[in-house]
Structure 1
Amino acid sequence: MRVLVTGFAGFIGYHLCRRLLAEGHAVTGLDAFSTYYDVNLKHARHRDLAQSAEFEAVEGRIETPGLLHDLIGRTGPEVVVHLAAQAGVRYSLENPQAYADANLIGSFNLLEAVRAHPVRHLLLASTSSAYGGNTILPFREADRAVSPLTFYAATKLAMEAMAHSYAHLFSIPTTAFRFFTVYGPWGRPDMALFLFTRKILDGEPIEVFAGGAAERDFTYVEDLVEAVRRLVDRPPPLPGAHVERMPGDTLSDCAPYRLVNIGAGQPLRLDAMINILEVALGRRAQRILKPLPPGDVPRTHASTDLLHRLVGSMDSTPPEKGIAAFVAWYRAFYQV
């Protein structure tokens, strides 16, 4: 296949590109190398991917007028995986404009580009934060998502709605997936596991929100990439196609559009995650207990029933194994 991955130098984009290249596909990656977190880490991911002759890297911002239109027209991808976004729940309280630019305008530019240059399958990354104030667990794709708690979540919900409208109007087979707290080697420095690891090794205290009682559906990155890769080959059917709906299917009644959770389906308390991390590091953490910040939810839990019905059964990496793999990568990368 010819595949375009936006956000290729990001955590998930890097792992997905590696997987696609290992399978022999031709991959074009677009990334802005934004300074939201350490650009050196993004450049290191880029250097690793650039070893493949089947990889082309393009630097640019998705909100730049005409960039995506020209790029897709030139490279002719059969599949587009849209991972580029301004990420981070808490940062959206500080700089909401960055989210409007990347997540709204940038995603609009992508939809217009795909409208002009149709693809076999468009896949879009959304977030578990879209479930917002929902309190019924586990989160199911059919649950109403109308109460976002942050502007970040609101922009991702808006992207889902925009994508549905384009799928309906222009028959673009589209899958949107909601990710749940992804972790693993090459992870994001702004996320808890990375932050805790750095501070514990540096002898600094860590801030533990909600007394450690907050729960997250931690999803190992290779498991997530496996799910995305399988979904690439399952585009929603075009209008008029006969299809038997499976239980819990989110296939739209009026568009080739589907929404799918990608998570482990096994929530873990924050304090339990820290305990596992301490074992992997061989060090104890100094913990400062703090209340949950604005916009954070006390727990997330993905229903993965639809995912497994679509792509088959999948193994879930145990947290002990996944956290140990992250620690091994961190020590090797930063030589600590």
Structure 2
Amino acid sequence: MRILVTGAAGFIASHLCEKLHSLGHEVVGIDNINDYYDINLKELNATDLANKGIHIFRLDLNDNLKEVFEKPYDYVYHLAAQPGISATTSLEEYVNNNIYATQNLLDAVLEYNSQLKSFINIATSSVYGIEATVNEEVPAKPVSFYGSTKLAAEQLALGLQRTGKLKVCSIRLYSVYGPRERPEKLYTKLIDNLYYDKPFPLFEGSIKHERSFTYVGDIVDGLAAIIGKEDKINGEIINLGTDEVNTTAEGIKAVEEIMNKQLIIDHQPPRKGDQQRTAAVIDKARQLLGYEPKVSLKQGLQEQVNWYLEKFTK
């Protein structure tokens, strides 16, 4: 199969590219390598992919995408997005990178690649709102620009499925962590601050937040399982995560034990838009994809610490 992955130099997408490539598929990426976070990390990921023979088009999804579609694809995995709930990211950036970019990609697929087997939209548990503890049938109630614009992107894609123009599914991910995690995310920042004995900013109340921290390897296994099941999951929204729930405090303790160091905490005011609790309900993923997360939080964090030490401390 020939597969396009958007946001290919990013955290989850780079792992997905490698997974699909290892299964024998021809994988092509697209990424604008923007400076939302350290470009060096994206370049590191891009180099790892290039060494495996995976080409990345360095384009913005709002650009003309005709050259990307000179040869047709069997599947498109759409992971590129404006992520996070940073107070410094404007609504305009979320709209441009999550809504307009998704629509431009969909337009390109319709114009140049209408016989696509499936368009897989990667969504987020943030669409559920403060408490992401429900199944896919419960109405979304986002409370952040990120969650709201990702929900809009999801509906743009599913709208084409409802009108019979494309086969589409949307996968809502839960608190993914592991090697290559973005530097502003919990565990990469935590590992870095522990290693260098820097104070770690902890938002008020977040120490008790509960999360379905899901190892990236489990996530990409679930995403890869979609191939060949496009008829079965056409039009479906599917939660992908783990039903193992841990608090932020438990996550911090696990990393402290792995690194044999104690975290210095810098207490901060509460952050607007933070989810209080996520607990992935993954019955549908189990039923439709044969999905079963295998990696415990402690195992996954050990892998992430190993990656950090290998890539950034030598």
TM bucket by the smaller chain? over 0.9
Q: Deviations over 1:251-304 (max 9, x none)?
A: 7xxxx4110011111121000100000011110111234453100021111101
The equivalent residue for 1:115 is: 110
Return the TM-score normalized by structure 2.
0.95
- Provide the C-alpha distance between the structure 2 equivalents of 1:189 and 1:28, rounded to a whole number of angstroms: 25
1:326 pairs with 2:304: yes
Q: What's the counterpart of residue 59 of structure 1? A: 58
1:4 aligns to what SS in structure 2? strand
Please name the residue that 1:45 is paired with: 45
Which residue in the other structure is 2:8 paired with?
8
Equivalenced residues, count: 311
* Residues 191-202 of structure 1 aligned to structure 2 (within 5 Å): 191-202=185-196
| Mapped pair 1:265 → 2:243 | yes
Superposed, 1:294-309 pairs within 5 Å as 294-309=272-287
The answer as to 2:12 corresponding to 1:17 is: no
State whether structure 2 residue 93 is matched by structure 1 residue 98. Answer: yes
Match of residue 124, structure 2, among 106, 124, 127: 127
Q: Distance in 2 between matches of 1:203 and 1:274?
A: 14
Q: Does the 8 Å CA contact 2:222/2:291 hold for their aligned counterparts?
A: no
Number of the residue aligned with 1:311: 289
Whole-Å separation in 2 of the counterparts to 1:86 and 1:141:
23
1:125 maps to a residue whose letter is I
Match of 2:227 among 232, 235, 248: 232
- Per-residue CA distance 1:129-174 (angstroms, 9 max, x = gap): 00014x4x632111111x2111111111101111111112243111
Aligned equivalent of 1:165, options 159, 165, 168: 159
RMSD between superposed Cα atoms in Å:
1.6
Residue 313 of structure 1, CA deviation: 4.7
Identity %: 30
Aligned to 1:285: 263
- Worse-matched range after superposition: 55-64 or 307-316: 307-316
**Separation in structure 1 between the aligned mates of residue 218 and residue 190 of structure 2, nearest angstrom:** 22
Contact 1:5 1:80 survives alignment (8 Å) = yes
Name stretches of at least 5 consecutive residues in structure 2 with no aligned partner.
none
Q: Distance in 2 between matches of 1:181 and 1:19?
A: 20
Deviations 1:304-331 (A, max 9, x none): 1000001225242111110011001101
1:211 CA displacement: 5.4
Shift of 1:95: 2.0
- Identify the residue that residue 77 of structure 1 maps to in structure 2: 73
Say if 1:71 and 1:201 are closer, same or farther in 2 by CA, change over 3 A: same
Q: 1:315 to 1:105 in 2, by over 3 A?
A: closer
Matched letter for residue 38 of structure 1: D
Output one character per residue of 1:199-226: Cα deviation in whole Å (capped at 9) or x when no partner. Answer: 1111112122315111111010000000
The 3-state SS of whatever aligns with 1:332 is helix
In structure 1, how many angstroms separate the alpha carbons of the residues matched to 2:248 and 2:263?
13
Q: State the distance in 2 between where 1:70 and 1:313 align.
A: 35
> Does 1:151 find its partner at 2:145?
yes
Q: Tell me the amino acid that sits aligned with residue 85 of structure 1.
A: A
**Corresponding position of 2:313:** 335
Residue by residue, what CA displacement relative to the aligned partner does 1:111-144 show, whole Å, maximum 9, x if unpaired?
Answer: 11222222001101111100014x4x63211111
Give the gaps of 5 or more residues in structure 1.
238-250
- Contact conserved, 1:236 with 1:258, CA < 8 A, in 2? no
Are the counterparts in 2 of residues 21 and 27 from structure 1 also a CA contact under 8 Å?
yes
